[in-house]
Chain A
Amino acid sequence: MAGTAPVADTAGAGEASGAFLDVRDLKIHFPTDDGLVKSVDGLTFQLERGRTLGIVGESGSGKSVTSLGILGLHNKRNSDVSGEIWLDGKELVGASQNEVRRLRGRDMAMIFQDPLSSMHPFYTVGNQIIEAYRVHNDVSKQVARKHAIDMLGRVGIPKPDKRVDDYPHQFSGGMRQRAMIAMALSCDPELLIADEPTTALDVTVQAQILDLIRDLQQEFNSAVIMITHDLGVVAELSDDILVMYAGRCVEYASVDDAFHRPQHPYTWGLLGSMPRLDRERSERLMPIQGSPPSLINVPSGCAFHPRCPYAELNDGKSETERPELVEVEPGHKAACHLPLEKRREIWADEIKPKL
């Protein structure tokens, strides 16, 4: 678990840092008739090759928009993007659409949540992989087809030379997701973003897919961003965790820290909502009260304060001042007004025993 956890920014604005992926103060805002939707509002993180970052948060916390933003897939006509995204020394926010397009699929690829709706129903699985391969590699159809069969085999599809000509609807859910992964990895991308890759799948299949992603990551040595609301998935796969709330990062930690020494009341809430099979059933879950905030009218001060059971401990600071993300321990950042000691105390006395 040691090594390349993000440290303080070493590079200034406009310069490439050493990190493979370096997202700096990323903001993605959507002006609408009702007001400005701040889906992502100042997100900063780094990621190295071979490492996996889990981004967790509730629906609407901005995690999917972040991933689409990195790939340049957000709707450009109705959004404002600022900040910097450096991928292997190239800046993406200011790059032309065509440049970003060339990187998509080749240097960075994505796996989506619903593999059925994410594959074109009218083309065979093989064709879709071939297309993905040939757009970045100048090879003949035969070569691409061989590659596609090869990829299908590598993601564990039996008889890939036959299944290559099947249509998506002829695959089972797990197979489809494997095929999606094969497609995403067909050009050997250095960055793989998986957006809730297992949500739509059976529990038994979930584990297989996660294993597959982990195995392939090791094989390809890619950087992986795992976007999910399921902390179990993160625990299984990730090196680090980035907890998002209302478009911002509220806690950043290694998986070990995040599960054993979480520093933010929201993270506690997430942990509390996670069903555990190794505990007695008499203890009920502790869901977070209230509902996620509107991204148009983000609560003042700490965006989490209306739902935070400890907000009143801060003498009104919660309502007025936005807490900065500060490094509380090496490699562990959190954005909370509560004094560090108080947080450790609450965790140890109130939260941890109930989990």
Chain B
Amino acid sequence: MFAYIVRRLIGAVLMLLLVSLVTFGIFFWLPKLAGQTTDQIAAGYVGKAPTKEAIQDTKERLGLDEPVVVQYGEYLKALVVGKDYKAGPVTDHCPAPCMGFSFRSSQPVLETLLDRAPATASLALGAAVVWLAGGISVGVISALKRGTLWDRAAMIIALSGVSLPIYFTGLVSLALFSYSIKIFPGGGSYLPLTTDPVTWFQSLVLPWVTLAFLYAAMYARLTRAGMLETMNEDYIRTARAKGLPEKTVVTKHALRATLTPIMTVFGLDLGLLLGGAVLTESTFGIPGLGRLAIDSINTGDLPMVLGVTLITASSIVVINLIVDLLYAVVDPRVRLG
């Protein structure tokens, strides 16, 4: 098990290197391939009416004239040994692991990422709880009451959940629950858990539900299908033959087996959640990583884009590792060697 984890971690590091290389290539190298000069790239970081001098200064300050390979090397070097940053009259040092400084705010990238991550984590984990609880219970009940009105209604709602876009459900839920009947605070009311737990919770209820709706729908369908399959297994018959109450049969025997494959899907979804988080965070004005990603791409803040990409990739790698380890714990047939 230990060797396995070490092997996975080494793989993860290589993977992150590859991700950083590809991202670096996309944002630093492709524009050059497409015929953009470094002057044009630099012009994006100067004000409304850039002068030649201003562009030259900016180019030098951001090191854009260096070959891409050198820039990438600098990036990796900063990760290992840290980096100094000249902000004018003061020089800022960012210790290793330094992911560089924002082209826009001049703040260390890692600092910004760490500042934004809790909001996204709150959103994602809360939504995950809502969608797992909602999706799985609806799925189980649907499976047990297969073919009934409840089952059909639940599956139709699930279908609509999969097809309705977040910005639509988000804005409608805000209009309904924040501005018409004022149950929940409106957009932009998010506060960190550590600052104000009550507001944190209240402001996240709608985003959680909005984001979870999409996934809950998917999980309800997954759970239902899995449950129907599991309930036909021989070991369920055995469990009943032992005289176990039906509740125990469903929860202890059937659900456990159904949830194991769902856990794998969940790990992937949690990692890919950033896509949904972008829309949810934009709709509800939550200052998280998703919004940071979009803003950084829109403003060409390359180090920040790289940072978000890497932190997302890292979390996907870590979550997948955890899921794989958990899988081995849950399903004894899976042996890791």
A residues near B (Cβ < 8 Å) are 71, 73, 101-106, 109-110, 112, 114, 117-122, 124, 131-132, 135-136, 167, 169, 180, 183-184
Q: Nearest chain-A residue to B254 (Cβ)?
A: A120
- A132 cross-chain contacts in B, Cβ below 8 A: 242-243
In angstroms, how far is the closest chain B Cβ from the Cβ of A179?
A: 11
B260 to chain A, nearest CB (A): 7
Shortest CB-to-CB span from B117 to chain A, Å, is 34
In the complex, the answer to whether B331 meets A122 with C-beta atoms within 8 Å is: yes
Whether the pair B243, A167 counts as a contact (CB closer than 8 A) is no
Give the distance to chain B from A34, nearest Cβ to Cβ, in Å. 17
Contacts of A118 in B (CB 8 A): 234-235, 237-238
Residues of A within 8 A of B331 (CB): 121-122
Of chain B, the residue at the smallest CB distance from A102 is B243
Provided the pairs A167-B332, A167-B333 are in contact, do residues A119 and B238 lie with their beta carbons within 8 angstroms? yes
Contact B330 A122 (CB under 8 A): yes
Of B237, B257, B330, the residue contacting A112 (CB under 8 A) is: B237
Determine whether the beta carbon of B238 is less than 8 Å from that of A121. no
Interface size on B, residues (CB 8 A): 22
Complex partner residue of A121 from B243, B244, B257, CB under 8 angstroms: B257
- Residue on B nearest A133 in the bound complex, by CB: B242
B242 contacts A183, CB within 8 Å? Answer: yes
Is B116's beta carbon under 8 Å from chain A? no
Within the complex, what minimum Cβ distance (angstroms) separates B162 from chain A? 29
Say yes or no for B229: interface residue by CB 8 A criterion.
Answer: no
In chain B between 244 and 277, which residues have their CB closer than 8 angstroms to a CB of chain A? 244-246, 248, 253, 256-257, 260
Nearest-CB distance from B247 to chain A (Å)? 11
- In contact, B242 and A121 (Cβ under 8 angstroms): no
Q: Determine whether the beta carbon of B240 is less than 8 Å from that of A120.
A: no
A224 to B: closest C-beta gap in Å: 15
Q: Could you list which residues of chain B lie within 8 angstroms of chain A, going by C-beta atoms?
A: 233-235, 237-246, 248, 253, 256-257, 260, 330-333
Q: List 25 A-B contacts (CB under 8 A).
A: A71-B241, A73-B237, A101-B240, A101-B243, A101-B244, A101-B245, A101-B246, A104-B240, A109-B241, A117-B233, A117-B235, A118-B234, A118-B235, A118-B237, A118-B238, A120-B235, A120-B239, A120-B257, A121-B332, A122-B256, A122-B260, A135-B242, A135-B244, A136-B243, A183-B242
Tell me the bound Cα distance from A184 to B253 in angstroms.
17
Chain A CB within 10 Å, residue with most, of B234, B240, B242, B244: B242
In the assembled complex, the CB of A119 is this many whole angstroms from the nearest CB of chain B, namely: 6
**Cα A112 to Cα B333 with chains together (Å):** 21
Q: Is the CB of B235 within 8 A of A105?
A: no
Q: Which of B233, B234, B235, B241 contacts A104 (CB 8 A)?
A: B241
In the complex, which residues of chain A have a beta carbon less than 8 angstroms from the beta carbon of B257?
A: 120-122
Give the top 10 A-B pairs by smallest Cβ distance, nearest first. Answer: A105-B243, A104-B243, A117-B234, A132-B242, A105-B242, A120-B235, A118-B234, A167-B332, A110-B241, A118-B238
Q: Which of A104, A124, A167, A169 contacts B242 (CB 8 A)?
A: A104
Q: Complex formed: what's the CA distance from A109 to B244 in Å? A: 12
> How far, in angstroms, from A103 to B240 measured CA to CA in the complex?
11
| A337: min CB distance to chain B, Å | 39
A32 to B120 CA separation, bound complex (whole angstroms): 51
Query: B234 contacts A114, CB within 8 Å?
Result: yes
A32 to chain B, nearest CB (A): 14
- Residues in A with CB closer than 8 Å to B245 are 101, 135
A117, B237: Cα distance in complex, Å: 10
Inter-chain contacts of A71 with B (CB < 8 A) = 241
**Least Cβ–Cβ distance between A171 and chain B, in angstroms:** 12
- Nearest CB in chain A to that of B260: its residue: A122
Contacts of A167 in B (CB 8 A): 332-333
Closest Cβ of chain B to A98, distance in Å, is: 8
A80 nearest CB across to chain B (Å): 18
Which residues of B sit under 8 angstroms from A104, Cβ to Cβ?
240-243
- Residues of the B chain whose Cβ atoms lie less than 8 Å from the Cβ of A180: 238
Question: Inside 8 A of B240's CB, which chain A residues have their CB?
Answer: 73, 101, 104
B260 surroundings in chain A (CB, below 8 A)? 122
Q: Which residues of B contact A120 (CB under 8 A)?
A: 235, 238-239, 253, 257
Chain B residues with CB under 8 A of A131: 242, 244
Query: Shortest beta-carbon distance, B326 to chain A, in Å?
Result: 13
Q: How far is the CA of A117 from the CA of B239 in the complex (A)?
A: 12
Q: What residue in chain B is nearest A169 (Cβ atoms)? A: B333
Supply 9 further A-B pairs (C-beta < 8 A) apart from A101-B244, A183-B238: A71-B241, A73-B241, A101-B246, A105-B241, A105-B242, A120-B235, A122-B331, A169-B333, A183-B242
- Note all chain A residues with C-beta closer than 8 A to B242: 104-105, 109, 131-132, 135, 183
Within the complex, the shortest CB–CB distance from A314 to chain B, in Å, comes to 41
Nearest-CB residue, chain B, relative to A72:
B240
Residues from chain A with Cβ under 8 Å of B244 in the complex: 101, 105, 131, 135
Q: How far is the CA of A264 from the CA of B237 in the complex (A)?
A: 34
Do the beta carbons of B243 and A119 come within 8 Å of each other?
no
Which residues of chain B are within 8 angstroms of A121 by Cβ–Cβ distance? 235, 257, 331-333
Distance A136 CA – B333 CA, assembled complex (angstroms): 29
* Nearest-neighbor residue (CB-CB) of B253 within chain A: A120
A103 to B233 alpha-carbon distance, docked (Å): 22
Cβ–Cβ < 8 Å partners of A184 in chain B: 241
In the complex, chain B residues whose CB is within 8 Å of the CB of A109: 241-242
Q: How far is the CA of A261 from the CA of B330 in the complex (A)?
A: 56
> Which residues of the partner chain B approach A169 to less than 8 Å between Cβ atoms?
332-333
Q: Which residues of A contact B239 (CB under 8 A)?
A: 120
Cα of A90 to Cα of B288 in the assembled complex, Å: 66
Question: Could you tell me the distance in whole angstroms from the C-beta of B248 to the nearest C-beta in chain A?
Answer: 8
Residues of B within 8 A of A124 (CB): 332
Name the A residues within 8 Å of B253 (CB-CB): 120
- CA A237 to CA B245, docked complex, whole Å: 33
In the complex, what distance in Å separates the CA atom of A232 from the CA atom of B330?
Answer: 41
Residues of A with C-beta under 8 A to B237: 73, 112, 118
Nearest-neighbor residue (CB-CB) of A166 within chain B? B332
User: How long is the Cα–Cα vector from A135 to B238 in the complex, in angstroms?
Assistant: 14
Chain A residue numbers with a CB within 8 Å of B243 are 101-106, 132, 135-136
